[in-house]
Amino acid sequence: MKLALRIFLFLIGGIALLVAGSVAYIKTALPNVGPAPELSVQKDSAHVARGKYLANHVAVCIDCHSERNWNQSSGPVIPGTEGKGGEAFTREQGFPGTYYARNITPAHLSGWTDGEIYRTITTGVTKDGRALFPVMPYGNYGQVDPDDIKAIIAYVRTLKPIENNAIPDREPDFPMNLILNTIPVKSEGTKRPDPSDTLAYGKYMTTFASCGECHTPVDDKGQFLPGLDFAGGRAFPMPKGTVRSMNITPDRETGIGSWTKETFVARFKAAQQPDYKHPATAEYADFNTIMPWIMYSGMSEQDLGAIFTYLQSLKPVKNSVEKFVPKGKEVASR
């Protein structure tokens, strides 16, 4: 009996040491993506213009890093707040903790090197070596052309400096506070395909715009549900109800399989009109969506068309989505 007890205690002690060692490794040795690269971004007008286009209409960095007016359809950015940060991504919205978009204007980034900004965007590791929660889809940005990331850096360097020191620190829940350090990986990016290769270019732009992040449903741990890529149904709680992303696979009944390229492009370009109203507001008086239609409407017709071509190449997934459920009438369905 005493021998059995000693063996049991030995095993428990070994497990405790293993756990403690693993935690120490995660906390001290990770994330391990290497040092920030030494680079100096060209800040000529062409690079700034390219970066402005990408940051506002493709990667939509400005969308999350500014204040949005939720009294209007699709929450357009409030002029004068571009890049100031502060938007919260909370437990109530389904995140494992509470996270805040940081200030990306020169008021904050003036002390960062171009390489430190580049590493943050492409790997999620900040100037001080902290791993970011991937609400910013740095895993996608790490797959795009380094020249496009550098163009974004050139652009954000031109933003109006806005002092915003009141942004709270993040509050990750357990075990996300440990998992965070395991997420960042090294990335070398890929070369942007020639737009003439519409399918490859469309895949590139779809990755850059992170369409799959919102249009793929997740489980209660935030993991993408297998087999439902781009099939819609991810829930986003809003003040007046829950909105769900639509199915953008080429399923003809529940997705966009019956759409034409012209219909797809026109759906985005409609948001360029003054006082834009989402079509769903005609059906639901309290409808609003986090989808930044107004920002995406500035994407070129060529880029939107390429995205459509890529989406049409995906496996059709039948997944009927209830786009909006008013407050107090929420249901468990996707």
- Give pTM, 2 decimals: 0.91
Residues 211 and 316 in one domain: yes
Cis before 274 (ω within 30): no
- Nearest-angstrom CA–CA distance, 119 and 138: 9
Residues 202 and 321 in one domain: yes
- Nearest-angstrom CA–CA distance, 307 and 54: 15
Q: Supply the range of the domain harboring residue 259.
A: 198-326
Task: For residue 281, tell me if it sits in a domain.
Answer: yes
Q: Of all residues in the chain, what percent are helix, strand and coil, respectively (each to 5)?
A: 40, 5, 55
Which of 132, 149, 182 is a domain's end point? 182
Task: For residue 24, tell me if it sits in a domain.
Answer: no
Phi, psi of 109 (to 5 degrees): -90, 0
First to last CA, the chain: 54
User: How many separate helices (H) and strands (E) can be counted in the chain?
Assistant: 13, 6
Please indicate whether residue 66 or residue 93 has the higher confidence score (pLDDT).
66
- Nearest-angstrom CA–CA distance, 169 and 155: 26
Tokens of 44: 């000529």
Residues 177 and 206 in one domain: no
Domain count, the chain: 2
Residues 226 and 117 in one domain: no
Residues 259 and 287 in one domain: yes
Residues 174 and 218 in one domain: no
pLDDT at 334: 40
Buried-exposed string 303-315: b where 16+ CB fall within 10 A, e elsewhere = bbbbbbbbbbebe
Residue 106 above 60 pLDDT? yes
pLDDT at 219: 85
pLDDT at 24: 52
Residues 177 and 268 in one domain: no
What DSSP string runs through 75-127?
-PBPTT-TT----EE-GGGT-SEEEEPPP-SHHHHTTS-HHHHHHHHHH-B-T
Residues 148 and 255 in one domain: no
- What length is written for the chain? 334
Task: For residue 21, tell me if it sits in a domain.
Answer: no
Residues 202 and 178 in one domain: no
Residues 162 and 213 in one domain: no
The CATH number assigned to the domain holding 68 equals 1.10.760
